[in-house]
Every structure is written in C-alpha cells, then in structure tokens.
Amino acid sequence: MKIIYLVITMACFAQINLFAQEPSDTVQSNIQLSLLVKNDGTEYIGEIISDDGREVLIMTKELGKIYIQKSDIKSITRIEDVKDIVYGEYRIAGPFTTRYSFTTNALPIQKGENYALINLYGPEVHFAVSEQLSLGVMTTWAVSPLIVAGKYTFSKDTTRNFNVSIGSLIGTTGYLNQFRGYGGLHFMNFTSGSRSKNITFSAGYAHLMAGFEGYKPSEGITFSDSRYQVGELTTRPTVHGPIVSIAGIAKVGAKASFVFDSMLGVFSQNSWNTRTTAITESYYDYDLNQYVDGWYQHETTYYTSRTTALFIMPGMRFQKTDKKAFQVSLAGVSVFEWVDAFGGANSYSFPMPMLMWFFKF
C-alpha cells in the first residue's frame, strides 16, 4: 500500500506541475515569425520584413527593426506555432519529446526526425518508418541483450492534445546466455498535452524467460551415497506480470524541461524447493572397508514467488539546439519480494542514476 500511495502522490505532483499556467508571449496570428540565430549564438525572434541577399531586416518585439548581415547569420527557422515562444525564446520540440527516461509517450516520431540515445548502460537508435510507426534498437555496451522496439500512434494529426499508441519491446539475452533467453514488454500509452508539456499513462504486460538452467530434484525415496539427489536438468520458469507507468514533461525555461518517469511492476514466477530427510544415513563401514549408501526421502514443494518493483525517475533535460539534448535523472528503485512456500518477505532499495545524451539525425 505504501508503494501505491507513493505512485499516486507523485502522479498528482506531476499533473499539477505539468498543467500549471505557462507564460507565453502574445503574438498576432497573422504575422509569420522566424527564429534567426547568428554565428555567435545570439537569437532574434520576429517578422522578416526584407532580405536583399546582403542583409536581413527583422522586426522584433523587444528591439524593433534590426538589420543583420547575411554573413553573420547561422540559421533561420520558421516558427509554426507561437505557443513555442515562451519567456521571449523559441522552444524547440523535435523527436526527443517522444521520450522520457525509460518510457515513451503516444506522440509519433515525425519523418526526418530520427534520434539516437547514449546513456551509461548502452546505446539506442529510433527512427520513423511512417508518420505513425517508429522502430528502434536498444542494447548495452556489451552488445547483449538485444532489444527491438516498435510503436504505432493511431492518429496522424500532430497537433492533437490527446493521443493513443501501442508498442512492444522484444528482445533476447544474446550471446551472454547463448541466445537461450528471451522476453518482451507490450504496452499502450495515453498522452494528454502538447510535445513540450504532456502527461502519459501507460499500462502493459512483461514476460522474461532468462534461459538459465538448473536441476529439478527428484521426488520420492532414493538409494544413494548422498542426501543431495540430482534430478532433471530444466530451464527456469518464465517471470511475468503487469506494468503501469505515469510520466510527463514540462518546460521550465526556453532550453530546459522537467522530466518525470516511473514504473510499477508486479511479477510472479512458479518455482520449487526440495526438502530431503534421511531414512538411513550413508556411512563408512570399517569392517567392510567400504562406503555404504543410505535411503533418503525427497519432498518437492511447488510455489509462486512474487516481486513488486517501483522505479521513480525525476530529472532535467537541457536542449540548446534541435539536434542535441542532455538529460540527468536521479532515479531510485524499490523492490519487495514475497515467497508463498515459506511466507518470507524481503525488501531493498538502490539508486539508479541516468545520464542521457540525445542526437537527432
């Protein structure tokens, strides 16, 4: 209950911050604005009045008319939505706004806005196949495991304030376990808000067959030289269970955003435990000068182990250009384990910091 209460509290906190009133500049809708960036990094937002090939005349709100030499201009970007102008600066959206930390939202990656991501644990790459479908590949620096990601957004309208998508992560443990392990996460996203300010509720189901093998002890009475009876070599059962998530992003400045991500998963796994008692112990007979086997009773108890895991990941994203961004998240993980067969419980927590670099290509 404490875990569920914490998730609800964080969700309310995120929602209050994400949908608080955001300051914006009032601009006449019939004026076409552009962002002009000089070679030294100075930015101007305004209406371009003239361009004779040598210099550009731009009408700004703060400074009025300004003449700028074309040789001093690094780039000129047409501003499609005046809502992206906040605190007198242009807020860039781009493909990074489809991603939080671990989770994604229902907004599609637009054509030509593919991105790569590098973090402390490994690289990723995600690209748009169409206006609604995107694919990606994720791995670690050891190139194992390998995961293929896919997401489909149901609407082509990128200006909608509510979007729905479905997606899957399908992977293999790779060469580290001779490709015996596999798993997946299949989910649905519900996103409310724009690219620069939104909140997402997600729900899905995960399953993992790690592929590790072990000996399942034999049951019944055996005659052997040891109380430890080796049984059948078998693969450990699948771990599976539902996952829910609340995540969001909100601009706190023209080049900075607050990012919140979380996941709550409840997983179960069928397993077994064998108790062995001696009917007749093995012993060494000095008269016969040999070892005499004993009789042992093996009783196997089947049970279901359950694990609840909670990830909470608040962070900040800094994006100075439309091609690069940096994000830092101070993440924490809490795990609670419970085993039916023994009635025992175990809980522990540990930090999981995230440093992420985004690159548009």
The β-bridge relationship of strands 115-119 and 123-128 is antiparallel
Beta partners for residue 169, in sequence order: 149, 185
Q: Which long-range contacts (CB under 8 A, 24 or more apart) does 75-79 make?
A: 75/35, 75/36, 75/37, 76/34, 76/35, 76/36, 76/37, 76/48, 77/34, 77/35, 77/37, 78/32, 78/33, 78/34, 79/32, 79/33, 79/34, 79/35, 79/45
Sign of the dihedral through C-alpha 44, 50, 51, 57: negative
pLDDT at position 9 is 47
| Residue 286, C-beta contacts closer than 8 angstroms, at least 6 positions apart | none
The residue ranges of the chain whose pLDDT is under 70 are 1-30, 83, 86-88, 91-93, 158, 214-217, 227-231, 340-344
Q: Residue type for 15, please?
A: Q
Residues 229 and 219: beta-carbon distance below 8 Å? no
What per-residue confidence (pLDDT) applies to 16? 42
| Model pLDDT for residues 159-174, shown as the tens digit of each residue | 788 999 999 999 999 8
Q: What is the pLDDT of residue 168?
A: 97
What is the Cα–Cα distance from 84 to 87, expressed in whole angstroms?
10
Q: What is residue 83's predicted lDDT score, i.e. its pLDDT?
A: 67
pLDDT digits (tens, 9 = 90+) for 285-317: 888 888 888 888 888 778 888 899 999 999 999
pLDDT at position 232 is 72
- Give Rg (Cα) of the chain: 29
Spatial distance between the Cα atoms of 57 and 36, rounded to a whole number of angstroms: 11
pLDDT at 26: 46
pLDDT confidence of residue 127: 93
Q: Would you state the pLDDT for residue 236?
A: 76
